Amino acid sequence: MTELANTPAAALELLRGLIDYAGFFPPAGLPVPQAWLNYGHYQRSPWSPMLGRLVLPAGKLTELAEEVIAPAAGATASVAADPSPTKAVAISAVLPGPQADPANFAVAVSAMLAFNDRFPTVAVVDTIECRVDSVEEFESARRTLDAGPWACFWELPPTAILPDLLAAVRLANHAESTARHFAKIRTGGLVPEAIPALEPVANFLVECARHDVGFKATAGLHHPIRSTHPLTYQPAAPCGLMHGFINLFVAAIAARHGWQDPERLLPILSTQQAADFSLNDDAIGWRDQTWSIDQVLATRVDFALSFGSCSFTEPVTDLQALGWLPPHSESFLA
């Protein structure tokens, strides 16, 4: 029994597997071994149903194998408190751009294949993330990856070519291939100007829905409701008005179920009042609009798939503060 068992059913479907843990990346910037141990700790926490994949650069897979997994595999069973993950870890590997860094793109693909051959019962790369800036770059990278059983998330530029890229992604999913292809949007960064405006985010959601292409988000979604926060953990860090992951995923539910005008999504994305949202057993609501639990589940299964965050604790503690998750007496901070 986890604490999520006491969460309203529609909220549970929204939150299940929502957060891909990316503790290696800034602003957390943890060493690979610490990110790995944190992931294992979160697997044991009451909030484990919210945990998705572990996100790492493909270039760090060798370090993970040699410095963390292999030594642990050779350790004796007398270790008193094993902090490692409790079950095989699904890893999302971030690749360099195939045009910006073609040599390292090829090296990264080889590293993923080698990693998956070594410890398949401990950790497996089943997902890749990669930025592409043109249809030609996407097609070139796709051909390299189509032979593998990957879920491929392509970070796409929020420009006029977005519809063309999404059309190419959709077409790739109808080709004879074992890979599956999705989109990715960057929703934040370490400086205020890295946070995209509301309009391109709304446009991305609508275009993904129009093209029937699922997506994930990355960066800047530590908090459930749109609000102003420091953008790093450093003293005197710059602050920015950050997108909220509840805003984003409720807007995605709306886009998936008929809200095909980006302007219509802007009020959901811009809401800074938690009271505008409602979560219960049967539905999720925003103001006077509601979506059924079946619509929430359908959206999460094949459309709004997850978001990457270098913190797992901040989203959970914020949801607790809002009363949307129950408190827990045992801290799981790491």
Residue 308 domain-assigned (yes or no): yes
Residue 187 domain-assigned (yes or no): yes
**Which one-letter DSSP state was computed for residue 111?**
H
Better-predicted residue by pLDDT, 144 or 296: 296
Three-state DSSP class for 123?
strand
Per-residue pLDDT for 4 more than 80? no
What is the span of the domain harbouring residue 101? 3-75+82-319
Q: How far is CA 100 from CA 39, 127, 159, 166, 280, in A?
A: 31, 21, 18, 21, 46
Give the CATH number for residue 263.
3.20.20
Does residue 140 contact residue 101 with C-beta atoms inside 8 Å? no
Q: Give residue-wise pLDDT tens across range 138-155.
A: 999 998 898 788 999 999
- Listed range (140-149, 160-169, 208-217, 248-257) with the worst mean pLDDT: 140-149
Per-residue pLDDT for 191 more than 50? yes
Count: domains in the chain: 1
Residue 327 domain-assigned (yes or no): no
Nearest to 260 by CA among 305, 317, 207, 181: 207
Strands 151-155 and 180-186: parallel
Residue 324 domain-assigned (yes or no): no
Does residue 220 contact residue 242 with C-beta atoms inside 8 Å? yes
Residue 330 domain-assigned (yes or no): no
Residue 333 domain-assigned (yes or no): no
Contacts of 267 (CB under 8 A, 6+ apart): none
Residue 241 domain-assigned (yes or no): yes
Cα–Cα dist 13/7, whole Å: 10
Residue 133 domain-assigned (yes or no): yes
pTM above threshold 0.85: yes
